[in-house]
Amino acid sequence: MIFANKSVSCSLQIICFLTFSPIYSLLCSVVYHPSHSPPSHLYVILFNFLFSSLLLSPSSMESKLQPWGLLPISFLLLLSNLQNWANAEPKVPCYFIFGDSLSDNGNNNNLKTLAKVNYRPYGIDFQKGPTGRFSNGRNMQDVIVELLGFIHYMPPFAKSKGKNILTGVNYASGSAGIRNESGKQLGARIPMNEQIKNHKTIISRISRLLGNDSSTKRLLSQCIYSIQIGSNDYINNYFKPEFYNTSRQYTPQQFAVVLVQQYSQQIKTLYDNGARKFALYGLSLIGCTPVAIAVYGTNGSPCVNKLNIAATLFNDRLKPLVEELNNNLTDAKFTYLNPSGSPVDLSSYVTNGTCCKAGGGGGELCIRNSKPCSNPRRYVFWDGVHTTDAWNKVVAKSAYYTESPLEAYPFNIHKLAKH
């Protein structure tokens, strides 16, 4: 997948056609080469250069189109920016993604499970259509991949092959949890322990590609390991007593302790296998999703309090774990992330409904081939649990740039990449 700014791109193509200049043709060929994907600010630079030269040159105003008036300075500035872009590298060489349906980009497509979304209306705003992403477009990890400067999204483990694994792999699986049994009532899934096994397989393949273990170790030490998991250990385990006995075994406080202890061992296993940069995501307000409110009711509250309290107990254990890991494993960097968007962000979105008609999967997913709302960009929730491309962009930018210790501690993704 190559990222593109379609609206600006179309405008540029029109102006490139109108100018009839060899130099402009050269510039346009640079921008539209199929292997290139300039960031949006370069599209704007080129657009301004072409458009202002076309319209503001004295000769064009007097008679015909002669876009040479502003050529010398603008051309040099443009070439400088294009050269900087061409030489740019991603902020990190590779990015590995672990998690559940919030990050899954197709690993569940061929599994026997209710937790898969390789059908419309999922993907209606994604270039390749329905890919297995639980959204109308990108998920949060996709946007972070863009912000880090990668040209391609990370391939799902199920489709990973060849040298594309050198820049990262996505292992996430819808309905997966920290615990192996979480989500089993929905069918097959790839729990965190299995995702780690899959990563070990990828490490072996990377070693074969690079030719030695030392090069592999050096590469992995520079990658970011993004892990967003734990929601299903609550919504598809602890709070499903008809399928699981964990709520009879543990109080919410005890369950958070047990869960984070297991999570800690999984994180350390990744560390033992070469990981050195960790982005560990806390749980969002799982009691505020449309499906949670519909299933449990709120008793007059805005959200389902017992679910949010449980998520808070988990987060309150995860944050000290991040500090402990940073103190004990000093050659690695760990950060806690829980981007939520600001009240100002939320004020312009519909928060109390879904864009698509829910009822598929276990009741929370879009009904196959149903017609969604006319403007997904106005909604937080795409289906009963998962968020829209628009909202995923908001929280991804927060995870990447925020300076709030409530959303990123001790540092955001941008700073983690620099360490």
Q: Is 100 designated active site?
A: no
By CB neighbour count within 10 A (0-12 exposed, 13-18 middle, 19+ buried), where does 208 fall?
exposed
Distance of CA 214 to the CA centre of its chain: 29
**Count of alpha carbons within 13 Å of 246, Cβ hemisphere only?**
24
Residue with tokens 């276990």: 362
Active-site position among 101, 135, 182, 226: 101
Angstrom CA distances, 3 to 41, 122, 163, stand at 13, 19, 20
Which distant-in-sequence residues (6+ apart) come within 8 Å of 217 by Cβ? 274
Task: For the chain, give percent helix, strand, coil, nearest 5.
Answer: 50, 10, 40
Whether 117 and 134 have beta carbons less than 8 Å apart is answered as yes
Structure tokens at 289: 């999703």
Bridge-based pairing state of the strands 277-281 and 333-337:
parallel
Q: What sections of 275-341 are H helices per DSSP?
A: 290-296, 305-328
Burial class of residue 245, CB neighbours in 10 A (0-12, 13-18, 19+): exposed
Marked catalytic residue, from 226, 383, 389, 398: 383
In this structure, what DSSP letter does residue 98 have? E
The span from the CA of 410 to the CA of 326, in Å, is 10
Is residue 101 among the annotated active site residues?
Answer: yes
List C-alpha distances in Å: 415 to 143, 242, 392, 393: 16, 44, 20, 19
Running DSSP on this structure, what letter comes out for residue 367?
P
**Active-site choice (175, 226, 233, 386):** 386
386 in active site: yes
Do 287 and 311 contact (CB within 8 A), yes or no? yes
Q: Which residues form the catalytic set?
A: 101, 383, 386
